[in-house]
Amino acid sequence: MSLFVQSLILGILLGGLYALLASGLTLYFGVMRVVQIAHSAFLILAAYLAWFFATRTGLDALLSLVITVPLFFVVGVGLQRLLITRLKPATLTMMSVLLTFAIALIIEGMLGFVFTGVQRRIHFSYGSASVPLFGAEVPVVKLVAFALAVLALGALWLILKKTGFGQALRATIQNKEAAQLVGINTDRVASYGFGLGLATAAVGGTALAMDATIYPSLHWHWIGPLMAIIVVGGLGSVPGAAIAAMVLGISQSLLQIPLGTTWAQTVFYVALFVTLMVRPQGFFGGRLAQRF
């Protein structure tokens, strides 16, 4: 029973992290119909920057967010303006896969070149501490990563729902021409949307690296499950991605008890196949995806 409770709690924490990692990925698609294969490469880049910051300054790696979040936002705006806008609208989704695949390879290559292929791990003063929770021992780093995810997702929700920019972004997603005609600069809004997606990758990558060993090609391990999450949740739906992430995170964690870690991972792909068979638009896809 205690193993079940432990797995359930770890599953919830993992689901929260997945929700953050997938939120940016579904946002790009919602705003611009862009499939951003390099999202997970940016997660790993953020993780490396956090590690580099911590080893060089001796400060807590979380403080690197002060630099990486604005940096990633600016990089995202630049990527959208300089590269994504050059893709033809008719083939945007397909071509964005190729373009961002190339970006992922470039990031991986640069990380290998600068930091070598050696596996790295960020050291926290509370790295080995754990707290008892409902009879289970939960590592503090996992709790902090979860808190970071909840905070970031809460901030994302507030931005989308309560700010003028968020309204403009949602209007652009729902009807681009009508958005232009009420005076919204939809190109600028789309580039800020891309920047916002990449800013979530800065937080997500740092949260991810709190409890994982990182290496340059680690992003290939992540992109599959994250893609599965956003398809199951409904492409473009941030709440859909969050709910799918939570369900799949808990499932994966619980399935590790009978199946072991390797086979438990297949839950993402099984869920992906089942979704494509019974509800191809995803569980919160189609028009629902536009409701935040």
Closest distance to another protein from the beta carbon of 241 (Å): 16
Per-residue contact flags (x/-) with another protein for residues 121 to 150, judged by CB under 8 A? ------------------------------
Helices 140-162 & 238-264, crossing angle to 10 degrees? 160
For the chain, the three-class secondary structure string (H helix, E strand, C coil) is CHHHHHHHHHHHHHHHHHHHHHHHHHHHHHHHCCCCCCHHHHHHHHHHHHHHHHHHHCCCHHHHHHHHHHHHHHHHHHHHHHCHHHCCHHHHHHHHHHHHHHHHHHHHHHHHHHHCCCCECCCCCCCCCEEEECCEEEEHHHHHHHHHHHHHHHHHHHHHHHCHHHHHHHHHHHCHHHHHHCCCCHHHHHHHHHHHHHHHHHHHHHHHHCCCCECHHHHHHHHHHHHHHHHHHCCCCHHHHHHHHHHHHHHHHHHHHHHHHHHHCCHHHHHHHHHHHHCCCCCCCHHHHHCC
Q: Which stretch binds another protein (CB under 8 A): 27-35, 171-179, 202-210, 223-231?
A: 171-179
CA distances in angstroms from 84 to 41, 200, 208, 236, 256, listed in the order given = 17, 19, 27, 17, 39
Q: Choose one: 27-35, 73-81, 170-178, 252-260; the region binding another protein (CB under 8 A).
A: 170-178
Which CB sits closer to another protein, 58 or 183?
Answer: 183
Does 91 contact another protein by CB under 8 A? no
For another protein, the closer CB: 60 or 187: 187
Residue 89 interacts with another protein (CB under 8 A): yes or no: no
Distance CA 24, CA 36 (A): 9
185 vs 266, beta carbon nearer another protein: 185
Contacting residue, 93, 130, 251, 290, with another protein by CB under 8 A? 290
Q: Which is nearer to another protein, 130 or 180 (CB)?
A: 180
Q: Which of 85, 93, 167, 265 binds another protein (CB under 8 A)?
A: 167
Our finding on whether 184 is near another protein (CB under 8 A) is yes
266 binds another protein (CB under 8 A): no
According to the binding rule CB under 8 A, does residue 287 interact with another protein?
yes
Interface with another protein, residue 219, by CB under 8 A: no
Chosen residue from 121, 123, 162, 291 binding another protein by CB under 8 A: 291
Instruction: State the nearest-atom distance from the C-beta of 286 to another protein, in Å.
Output: 11
Give the number of residues in contact with another protein, rule: CB under 8 A: 19
- Provide the token pair at 192: 């800020």
Work out whether 265 is an interface residue with another protein (CB under 8 A): no
Complex with another protein: residue 164 or 258, whichever CB lies closer: 164
Q: Would you tell me which residues interact with another protein (CB under 8 A)?
A: 164, 167-168, 170-171, 174-175, 177-185, 287, 290-291
